[in-house]
Amino acid sequence: MDKVRLAIVGCGVMGNRHLNGLIELDRAGLNKFELVSACDLILENAESLAKRAEESFNYPVKAVQRLEDLKEFEIQAIDATVVPWEHHTVAIEAMQRGWHVMLEKPMGLTIRACNMMKRTMESTKSVLSVAENFHYDPINIIGREIIKSALIGTPRLMIQNSVGGGNSVIVTPWRHYKRGGGPLLDVGVHYSYVVEYLMGEVETVYAYKRLHEPVRKNGKMSSEVKADAEDAIYAILSFKNGAIGQFTEDHAGHGQGIWQRFIYGSKGSLNLPGDRSGKPVTLTIDGKGVIKDEHLLDMLPEYRLDEITAKLFGGERICKYELPFADIDSKLLAIEYFDFAESILNNRRPSVDINQAMRSVGLIYAMLESAHLGRTVTMDEIMSEKVNAYQNEVNEMIGL
């Protein structure tokens, strides 16, 4: 079968990491794409990615500046790794041109932006896949299997806490601007995705928000960034299954940092490590103590990674992995590409469900909207855009 003709749109940090993922997929002999073009408003960025791709794939890859320039290459799909406030514009135009789209997280800058993309996806019948790499981490997959298998009994409490960062710039200045989504959305959308991936749907949210560090120091450039987006959220969640969640995402923490993802149930607890670390989960069951390695696998007879994940991570029933971060990153991005190709070629839904990707954006905004209004909000109010006072400012900034 012919390969799917692809362009990478957005050739900054993540565009280049995606290229690493495609190279990894190619090396594994599972690449169903032909990367024909690299597109970026900054032509040098497109040229530099195209050059790297040419060196890896040994065929010409054209660099262009605008989406419409891609027409002449008869592409069928784009991988959009542009800045978050451009996601909806790029994805909608691409789908209207008849192309399939894989889109980096957060799916959209607001729920309105997500809804617009979803409507375009439905009317054009294009595949719209959200590249939520944490979905594919084998450790999160085993974590979900443990909960599904009721090894900790009925879930009662989830703790998702991260604190750190001080007053440094997080990777790029745009991550501190509201019109860029702010760090709470840009980073937190991964966590909110995993929260519902493991625990099921959140029903209500109450939160406080803060902007602790309005002036951020950019170490490398010894310059300052004036932040207007909040950098900390402290929330209580209630899940539809009756469990309660505590969610802290504080990008301004000084001193000792925290990373915690715990789930407590009626029979035991599950402690999950940082995403993309490959460290094992700690399952502790009353009367049995800590269950590890082979013992853990014995308790999970149904647990099996899919073919590509097993191939890239070294086994279909692994419960940990030890790899350099760059390799882990590329492997997860390779799996995303594989899933995108399978969705296009077999006319099936991508593994990251579009509604779930939207809800991960919605859950971050539920916290921000709750803090803005000073009351509990429901996820239904957020997803239906009935509550959007906080997002209105962001929507105005991006002309929605």
Binding of residue 13 to ligand NAD (CB under 6 A): yes
Closest to ligand NAD by CB, 105 or 155: 105
Instruction: Among 6, 10, 47, 358, indicate the residue that binds ligand NAD (CB under 6 A).
Output: 10
Q: Is 128 in the site for ligand NAD (CB under 6 A)?
A: no
Q: Which is nearer to ligand NAD, 160 or 269 (CB)?
A: 160
Q: Which of 292, 285, 188 is nearest to 230 (CA)?
A: 188
Mapped onto helix, strand or coil, the DSSP state of residue 374 is coil
Residue from 47, 79, 137, 186 in contact with ligand NAD (CB under 6 A): 186
Q: Does 42 bind ligand NAD (CB under 6 A)?
A: yes
Give me the DSSP letters along 69-128. GGGGGT--EEEE---GGGHHHHHHHHHHTT-EEEEESSS-SSHHHHHHHHHHHHHH---E
Least distance in angstroms from the C-beta of 336 to ligand NAD: 9
CB of 170 to ligand NAD, least distance (A): 10
State yes or no: residue 114 binds ligand NAD (CB under 6 A): no
Single-letter code of the amino acid located at 350: P
* Closer residue to ligand NAD (CB): 190 or 265: 190
Closest-CA residue to 113 (of 148, 83, 89): 89
Contact status: 14 vs ligand NAD (CB under 6 A): yes
Q: Which of residues 143-172 bind ligand NAD (CB under 6 A)?
A: 172
Query: Which string of x and - marks every residue 330-359 that binds ligand NAD (by CB under 6 A)?
Result: ------------------------------
Instruction: Pick the binder of ligand NAD from 70, 83, 252, 387 (CB under 6 A).
Output: 83
Between CA 7 and CA 12 the distance in angstroms is 14
Minimum CB separation from ligand NAD for residue 273, in Å? 17
Exposure on the CB side of residue 47, measured as CA atoms within 13 A: 3
Give the span between the Cα atoms of 116 and 91, in whole angstroms.
10
For residue 130, list its beta bridge partners: 103
Instruction: Count Cβ neighbours within 10 Å for each residue of 368-380 and write b for 16 or more, e otherwise.
Output: bbbbbeeeebbbe
Binding site for ligand NAD (CB under 6 A): 9-15, 39-42, 45, 81-84, 86, 90, 104-105, 133, 172, 186
